[in-house]
Structure 1
């Protein structure tokens, strides 16, 4: 049986993109409010990436 892709209706797609944009904006504001936490998270991600590459 062949897979078919369901197309989302335009209104649902628009709402989804709007929610994703709002989430991204909220994350950006949170990073600005807590720069130390953002820096710590970036360092954690860097360390994890280096461990994956080295391992």
Structure 2
């Protein structure tokens, strides 16, 4: 996670009405996905039984999925 406060953006912040570039959107998405993966890993460590059950359910869904 970044050490910057939530509202502190870098030089990519041009203003409230400025259109977002693809690079900014990809950067934001990558950060979101990193944070999401970190949160899932933390949840798996804190609740191992529930995480195991979720893994088993996901494996069952994948086995029974039809292409």
TM range (shorter): 0.5 to 0.7
2:52 corresponds to? 39
Which residue number in structure 2 is paired with residue 15 of structure 1? 28
Alignment gaps of 5+ in structure 1: 1-6
Equivalenced residue count is: 46
Structure having the larger proportion of residues in helix = 1
Q: Note closer, same or farther for the CA distance 1:51–1:14 as it changes in structure 2 (3 Å cut).
A: closer
TM-score by length of 1: 0.64
Tell me the CA shift for residue 52 of structure 1.
4.3
Runs of 5+ unmatched residues, structure 2: 1-20
Q: What TM-score do the two structures reach when normalised by structure 2? A: 0.55
